[in-house]
């Protein structure tokens, strides 16, 4: 009887452990942007100057990696409204090039409060990682005013539920 009880207790502990969420979702509001995002892990922030649409801009990135998938939101503020669409296009090209994606599937993307833009879409891509392993990427591109955004998940496997939580959790704070 004692062996059976230990065995049952062990199975129960394994079952409960399997139900423990691997992703620890949290709301993140980068101080220098008006976007709010849900991240499944504690993100790090970094920024650096980049060239977009013929202009030097400060590109900020908030990202974290969990379960071999990286979740990120990148954004930049432009000064010239005539460069917004071109800059968003360059961000899309760079996202595909980062994984060597050859085929890109695009679907409509919108968020309440975003500025309409023909390149505001969600892309699904397949390519190779830096160590030449197959990788998947989902990325949404959008605009609010003069600020352009890219929300991305990259990994060998993108869990459907995690992707839905990440992308549906994006919103503007004001």
Q: What is the mean pLDDT of each run of 10 residues along the chain (174 residues)?
A: 39 36 85 93 95 94 96 96 96 94 87 95 94 95 96 96 96 87
Q: Which 8-state DSSP code applies to residue 82?
A: G
pLDDT at 7: 39
pLDDT at 102: 78
For the chain, strand residue ranges (E) read 26-28, 35-39, 44-52, 55-66, 69-77, 104-108, 121-128, 134-144, 147-155, 171-172
Phi-psi region of 5 (alpha: psi -120 to 50; beta: other; left: phi over 0): alpha
pLDDT at 163: 97
Other CB atoms within 10 A of residue 84 CB: 20
pLDDT at 125: 96
pLDDT at 21: 54
Based on the number of CB atoms within 10 Å of its own CB, is 52 exposed (0-12), middle (13-18) or buried (19 or more)?
buried
Query: Is 154:99 a contact under the CB 8 Å cutoff?
Result: yes
* Cα–Cα distance, 135 to 167 (Å, whole number): 19
pLDDT at 25: 95
Query: Is 136:156 a contact under the CB 8 Å cutoff?
Result: yes
pLDDT at 4: 42
């Amino acid at each position: 009887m004692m062996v059976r009880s230990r065995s049952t207790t062990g199975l129960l502990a394994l079952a409960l452990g399997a139900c423990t969420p691997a992703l620890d979702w949290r709301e993140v509001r980068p101080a220098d942007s008006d976007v709010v995002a849900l991240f499944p892990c504690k993100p790090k922030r970094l920024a650096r100057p980049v060239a977009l649409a013929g202009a030097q801009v400060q590109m900020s990135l908030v990202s974290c990696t969990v379960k071999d998938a990286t979740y990120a939101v990148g954004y930049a503020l432009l000064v010239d409204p005539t460069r917004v669409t071109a800059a968003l296009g360059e961000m899309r090209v760079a996202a595909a090039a980062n994984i060597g994606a050859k085929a890109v599937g695009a679907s409509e993307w919108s968020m309440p409060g975003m500025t309409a833009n023909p390149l505001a879409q969600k892309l699904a891509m397949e390519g190779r990682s830096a160590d030449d392993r197959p990788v998947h990427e989902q990325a949404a591109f959008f605009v609010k005013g003069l600020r352009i955004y890219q929300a991305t998940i990259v990994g060998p496997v993108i869990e459907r539920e995690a992707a839905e939580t990440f992308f549906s959790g994006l919103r503007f704070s004001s």
